[in-house]
Structure 1
Amino acid sequence: MVGVWVVLGVLVLGGVAGAVLKARNGRIGAAKETERALPGPVADALDPDAAVTLVQISTTFCAPCRHTKAVLEPLAERTDGLRHVELDVTDQPEVAQALGVLRTPTTLAFSPAGKELLRISGVPKGPAVLEALEEHLPAASSRPTQ
């Protein structure tokens, strides 16, 4: 009888943990306040001509990272002032550590000056990203071009 209770307890805890992770996936959060300089690969990825550069932190064997790229790359291509860059940190964990990134994919939005505007944990939803960045993008291009 004790074994049945243990199995039920594990199933309930697993279900709760799964629900929490699912709820947090794709969540857009506030930027982390930091006074540290950006790591070199991130600073090099910033586009001074783009109003916002989305830097996607990925790893080699991350399946959700491929989904994130499939959402953000076309979004950036059809939105004026928005650029997407994928940065693989598999062999450079110090970059993720310096940015305070604990999981992949994490996408950070930066201004041309390198100020972090927001963070997206997990696979984002395109319209939610545009809505969150609306105040930072040029007024005429806050909506994707057709």
Structure 2
Amino acid sequence: MGLRVLLVLGVLAVAVAAGLLWRSRNGRFVAVRGAADSAGRLTADDLGAPLGAEATFLQLSSEACAPCRSTAVVLGALAGERGGVAHVEVAAEDRLDLVRRFDVLRTPTVLVLDGAGVVRGRLSGATTRQQALDALDRCPATA
């Protein structure tokens, strides 16, 4: 009986640790290195929307995704307040070319593009306003 209790506690500890790790990665900005080649550049034609003069948040979302909706609200508001920053949301299921090209594994994934359309970083999971601002500050071409 004692072994079963230890097994249950061990599984619970692993589950809690995995949950905390997952949560810590939500909205974290990860810079992309070496993205200046054509594979890491997007144009207004690629997106079907104009790029921001300073930065563009390209959000890949899915229909049944609550964090996608909250992230869209945050990024849309930020783009509305900051000149030169644009927010473009696309349905991942409609843009599988982008999903494959940028190895998108979850939604929302937000690609942070500089004014020239070069992908400079990415955020995955629900993103807060502060995380989005930090991403703009840490993005090499928008700082």
- TM-score, length basis structure 1: 0.79
Inter-CA distance 38–61: structure 2 relative to 1 (3 Å threshold): farther
Aligned counterpart for 2:130 among listed residues 124, 127, 143 = 127
The residue type equivalent to 1:106 in the other structure is: T
The answer to whether the 8 A contact 2:42-2:117 is kept is: no
Q: Could you tell me how far apart the structure 2 residues matched to 1:32 and 1:62 are?
A: 29
- Cα distance, 1:3 vs structure 2: 2.7
Q: 1:25 to 1:4 in 2, by over 3 A?
A: same
Root mean square deviation of aligned Cα? 2.5
Residue 84 (structure 2) aligns with: 81
Identity of aligned residues (%): 35
Match for residue 114 of structure 2 among 82, 101, 111? 111
CA contact (8 A) 1:104 1:122 kept: yes
Gaps of 5+ in 1: 138-146
**Shift, 1:46, TM fit:** 5.3
> Which ranges in structure 2 are unaligned for 5 or more consecutive residues?
none
Matched, 1:51 2:57: no
By how many angstroms is 1:37 displaced? 5.9
Partner of 1:136: 142
* Aligned residue pairs, count: 137
Q: Secondary structure, in 3 states, of the residue corresponding to 2:99?
A: helix
Query: What residue number does 2:18 align with?
Result: 17
Q: Which residue of 2 aligns with 1:63?
A: 66
Measure the CA separation in 2 of the matches of 1:37 and 1:28.
Answer: 17
Amino acid at match of 2:13: V
Q: Which amino acid aligns with 1:15?
A: V
Give 3-state SS (helix, strand or coil) of 2:93's partner: coil
TM-score normalized by the length of structure 2: 0.81
1:52–1:110 Cα contact (<8 Å) kept: yes
